[in-house]
Each structure stands twice: as C-alpha cells, then as structure tokens.
Structure 1
Amino acid sequence: MTTAPPLPSPPRHVAAHAPEAGPTPWPRVVALAAAVAVGLTVLLAAFAWPATRTAPRDVPVAVVGPPAAVEQLRAAVEESAPGALDLRPAVDPAEARQLVEDREVYGALVLDPAAPTVVVATQAGPAVAQLLTTAATTATGGSAVRVDDVAPAPADDPRGAGLAAGALPLALGGGAGAVLLALRIRGNGRQAAGALVLALLGGPAAAGVLHGWLGALTGDWWAEAGVLSLGLAATSLGVLGLAAVAGRAGLGLGMATVVALGNPLSAASSAPVLLPGGWAGLGQALPPGATVAALRAVSGFGGTGAAGPLTVLAVWAAGGLLLLAVGAARGRRHPA
C-alpha cells in the first residue's frame, strides 16, 4: 500500500505577507473617521458657499431712454445695489432686444414713459430675469411694466428646476462611470471605449428625460442630446485620464474637481454672473458648468453662445484621451 507524498510547505514569503489577524488598530480607525469628517466638511462648504454668496455683480444690461432718465436709473441702482448692474446704452428698443438675443447682455430696460418695458431671457438664468423685472418696476416707481421674454422658460418647467436639478446627476453619472471603468476594466484603450459608449448612450437618454419627459428643454432634441453626450464624455474621459497618470489619487482628484467643485459652480440654478468673483470663470471652465451653458444656448437661443462651452467640453475630452495615451505608453515602458 502506497502512501501519498506529503504536501509541500508554503514558501516563507507567503507566510510573511499573510493578512494580519485581529481587529483593526485604533490609529487607523481614528484616521479613517477623521478623513471622512474632513471630506464631509469640504463637500458641505463646496455646495453651500456658492449658494449663500449668490448675488448680482455687474450684470450687463442694455438701457434705452432719455439721457436724464438713464442717469437717474444709474444713480438709483448705484445707491440701492452698488455694482449690481452694468448699464450699457442702446440706440433704440430694437437694438436693445437684439443685444439680448445675441447674448451680449442679460436683459434690457426700455425707459419709455408711455410703455416701460423690460426685455429678459429666462432660459439664460431665471434668477437674472426676475432680478431685472424687479429693477424695472422699481425704476418706474412701481407702475406696470411690460415684460418681453426673448427666451421664455419651458411651459412644463417655468422655474427652470429640471435643468438645475439635473446638473448633479449628470456630473455624478460621468464621474461614477469613470470610477467604475477605471476599477473594473483593464486597458486604457478599453476604458476610453467604455467612456465613449457611456456618452453615446447616456446623452440621448438624458435628453429623453429632460426634453421628452419633463419638458425642461425646448430646443432641437438632437442638439441637446449631442451636448449631453459631449458633457458625459468630457467628464468621464477627464477623470479617467487623471487616473491613468496618477492612479487612485488622480481618480479622487478628478471626482473632487467634477462633483465637489464643478457642480456647485455650474450656476445651474442661477447664472454665472451671479457667482462670486473669479469663481464664475472657473465654474464655466469645468465640465458641469460648460454643459449647463451649452444646454441653455441650444435650448433657448438656437445655439447662440454655445461655441465657448462646447470648446471647453471638447478640450476636456481630448485632454482625457491624451492622458490615457500617456498612461498606456508609460505602462508599456514599465510593465508591472
């Protein structure tokens, strides 16, 4: 009767790297809890600070009327809200209205004693339209003012709540998709392909919800779907690119930039001109803000003003692809 040979003993290096037994050390527990608390504080500040500091700051507004009336309005605005409005004289009501349609200004005040009128564009920012309507009523001593809205809010979403509420899910969708691809898909080329598939499927789906179901957008459906797809591609590829060159630290940095910083500064619930100082420019340079700005342009203005935001999104998408290529080349030179 033969006996089985004894099993070989495991190599010493395996035993040396075996997982530690017993509970997690207390310093690690405290450090993890403290890190979560710090992250929560940063996230709360990022979302609450822009909301509490939203106010009109040099909002460009065309004004038409007798010189004495224009100067009186200017003095009244500077006394009641210094620096709130940037009044720009226009030749006549037609020119003032054209300036609003061309997105050179946010609105116009026509100081006609017989028929005072305020020209607004609600889809450029409902908060600004309401502000200008109030300013026009104050300028005329409380008398009735005719409101001419060149880009009225959607009938199914008069407060613009759909786009404001949709900005965060769009940012999270692109960012979380990038995290999932980075952690579960091997190969930078395959990760890029996954991000593009996400964008091509997610854009039309989001347009179907915001335009077709909720009625929060009123422009050309295909143009809106294209903007949403480009926005998702910019977000996901940007985060993936950072992960490709900086690992999990880059993944965390990308998510923090897109969600914790980009979404509060997107001005989806107000307008960039109402954000503090240079934060408005930073918000428009990030994918969430550029996506919202491009959607407003194609929904309410037939694409006028969309070139800048679309360029920002294209740069983010191309930059993400470039970083993925750099990460792939570095991996070929130094394989794990």
Structure 2
Amino acid sequence: MTQPADSPRPSPSPDPASAPDPASPPSFLDELRDGVTPRATLLVVGVLALQLLFIASYVGALHHPKLRDVPFGVVAPRAAAEQTVARLEGLPGEPLDPRTVTDAAAARELILDREIDGALLIDPARTTDTLLVASGGGRSLAGALAALVATLEQSEGRTLRTVDVAPADLGDANGLTSFYLVVGWCVGGYLCASALAMSAGARPTNLRRGVIRLAALAVFSVLGGLGGAVIAGPVLGALPGSVAALWGLGALVVFAVGAATLALQCVFGIAGIGVAVLLVVVAGNPSAGGALPLPLLPPFWAAIGPALPPGAGVWVARSIAYFEGNDTTVPLLVLSAWATAGAAITLVMAALKRKPEPRPSEV
C-alpha cells in the first residue's frame, strides 16, 4: 500500500552509536569547570595575595629592628647636657631624639607619662652614669637603649648603671602579654562579625537586622573583654593593672574590630572579611608595637601602627599595666573612631538595602 504524497515522513531514529551515554563519567575539563568556578578562582587568588602580603608585612616589619628617633632625656649640668644632646643628635642613623631634662625626678615622670622612653643621668663628679628605662613599654626597646648607651659610655671611658623605672611583670615574658591579649580580642571581633555574616548573609537585609547584629556584637564584646582581662590578670598573673580598665579596653577593641568587619562586609560582601584580615592582621599586628615597640620598627609600620586597632589597643594595655594609665586619650579615640564608623556604615548600608521587587504572581 502506497503512502500519500502529502503525508509526513517518519523521522529517522537516532543512531545508538552517536547518542551520548548517560552512564559515561564526565570529562576532566567538565569536572574542572564544575569544581573551580570563576568565583572560587577569584577567592583563591585573593587568599594567595593575602598570604604573600602577610609574609611581606611581618618579615618587612620585624626582620631588622633598629632604633629610630627614640624620645630620650638627658639630665646633667647645663653645659654637659647641651654637649651630650648635640653628640646624641649626631649619631649615625639618628637612633635618638634627645632633649634636656631638669632633674632625675622630672625624667622619671616623663617616662611614666610615656613622653620619653629613656633618660641618661650624667654625674660629672663620678665615672658612672645612670640610664633610666621602662621595660614595661617593651623589653626589646629597653635592651636596645641600654646597649647603645653602654657603647657610648664605654667610648668615653665611663661606666653605666641601668635602672628600670617601670619594669615588666615577672609573668609577662618579654613584655608581650599585652600584645597577645589585644590580638586575641581583635581575632574575636572579626570572627564574631564573620560568623554573623555567614549565618545570615554578609549584608543585613534591613535596618532592624543591622541593629540586631550590632547588639549581638556588643554583648559578645563585653563578654570577650571581661574574659581576656580575667585570664591575663587574676587567672594567669601575666599582666598587672586594673582588671576593670582592661575589661573596658577589651570590650572596645572587640567591638571596634567587629563593627569595622561588619561595615566592610556591607560594602564588599563576603570579601569584606578578607579586607578586615588585611587591615587587622596583615597590617595591624606587625605594626602594633608588640614584638617590637614603635621606635624599633621601620618608618612605614611605625606610622600606620597607632592608627589601627591592634596598635592603639597595645599602647593602652601597656599604659594600664605599667604606666598608671597615662597617655591613653589618643589611642582610645582611635578605637572609638573605628567602632563608631563601623557601626554607622553598617546601619546606613542596612537602611539603604532595597527589598527585592515582588514577582508578578505575588502582586
């Protein structure tokens, strides 16, 4: 029987040999595309950049400690004091920033006020002079000053006696407890902010959510500040000073770092966590004056350290522990600025967050 001319022809059946086998495993290129997405590639490149910056920052800041412009007092009769100051100003590399001081009591007061880091008391009637240092501000700085001045005194045929007017506590090995305490508070701040972002999105969906995140961070900051102060003080006996003052400092440090991290996440999304690590860990820790006090750091790190939360926190912690709480106004203002700016940006970005447009079916 013949088929009508206008009837459709049956479509040819596919060749079983040319059809893809659903049971065959994907190729290596397919697996590579699925396993390493462009977004993952960017994140890995960012992590690599942070790693290299971390190495460059720490090694660059700490590999070659050298005294630079250390505020230094000279106590002596007028003619001898002026002559000594001129000699110290002419030292190669300008390790000291000397100035005359009226007497030993004034020199001690200036050291405790953290206006100078050491002072040389010259006694023209004897062959032995006295160097005042403060190891509570950093053992490495006190040791470097003692070594430099001892060499200068020896070249003059004189001997040196060193007096520590603000000694580091016996439990504060190398004077680093304040640094590790502040680093712990900083880590808690950005990890808390990161946890809040990972659990509910990097950017708060509305103003109320932003307020809730900041409130949760504030509670965490109070608890973290208290815990750190108690552990470093009464529990381990590693850092002297008022527990209440250290508690307040810890709460401020944690909140400042956490609020800054929340703000950076609002601006950059999840990549804001990396930016926070760049500021606090990569740039902030080596420049904080912990392992090496500021006068021993290269100029760049010495300049940025006081403006970042770790550096401001370490300065205040040492002042509380060893310097009667002196000279803390500026670093506390720095920490307050980070906390205020971080909270403000978080709230503004949350308030500006637009809700998604409703779908036609939902109207």
Q: Are the aligned partners of 1:192 and 1:237 in contact in 2 as well (CA < 8 Å)?
A: yes
What are the residue-to-residue correspondences of 1:68-87 with 2, within 5 Å?
Answer: 68=80, 71-72=83-84, 74-75=86-87, 78-79=90-91, 81-87=92-98
Give the secondary-structure state (helix, strand or coil) at the position aligned to 2:97. Answer: strand
What are the residue-to-residue correspondences of 1:229-240 with 2, within 5 Å?
Answer: 229-240=251-262
Question: Which residue of 2 is the match for residue 15 of structure 1?
Answer: none
Pair 1:139 & 2:152 matched:
yes
Question: Which residue of 1 is the match for residue 225 of structure 2?
Answer: 203
Deviation at 1:225, TM superposition (A): 1.2
Pair 1:255 & 2:277 matched:
yes
Pair 1:125 & 2:133 matched:
no
Q: Are the aligned partners of 1:230 and 1:313 in contact in 2 as well (CA < 8 Å)?
A: yes
**CA deviations over 1:29-82 (Å, ceiling 9, x no partner):** 876655443332122112211112432111010011243475257436734x42
Q: Which of residues 151, 157, 163 is equivalent to 2:178?
A: 163
Alignment-mate amino acid for residue 329 of structure 2:
A
What are the residue-to-residue correspondences of 1:1-336 with 2, within 5 Å?
Answer: 22-25=30-33, 34-66=45-77, 67-68=79-80, 71-72=83-84, 74-75=86-87, 78-79=90-91, 81-113=92-124, 114=126, 115-141=128-154, 144-185=159-200, 187-331=209-353, 334-336=354-356
**CA deviations over 1:153-177 (Å, ceiling 9, x no partner):** 0121242132344443332221111
Q: Are the aligned partners of 2:89 and 2:98 in contact in 1 as well (CA < 8 Å)?
A: no
Q: Are the aligned partners of 2:285 and 2:310 in contact in 1 as well (CA < 8 Å)?
A: yes
- Relative to the length of structure 2, the TM-score reads 0.79
Q: Which runs of 5+ in 1 are unaligned?
A: 1-19
Q: Which runs of 5+ in 2 are unaligned?
A: 1-25, 357-363
2: distance between equivalents of 1:303 and 1:77? 30
2: distance between equivalents of 1:298 and 1:51? 25
Percent identity between the two aligned chains: 32
Name which one, 1 or 2, has greater alpha-carbon Rg: 2
RMSD, matched Cα: 2.5
- Relative to the length of structure 1, the TM-score reads 0.85
Give the secondary-structure state (helix, strand or coil) at the position aligned to 1:273. Answer: helix
Q: Are the aligned partners of 1:167 and 1:268 in contact in 2 as well (CA < 8 Å)?
A: no
Alignment-mate amino acid for residue 342 of structure 2:
G
Alignment-mate amino acid for residue 230 of structure 2:
G
Deviates more, 1:174-183 or 1:227-236: 174-183
2: distance between equivalents of 1:32 and 1:326? 27
User: Aligned pairs, how many?
Assistant: 314
When residues 223 and 144 of structure 1 are mapped into structure 2, their CA distance, relative to the original with a 3 A threshold, is: same
Alignment-mate amino acid for residue 100 of structure 1:
I
2: distance between equivalents of 1:192 and 1:273? 36
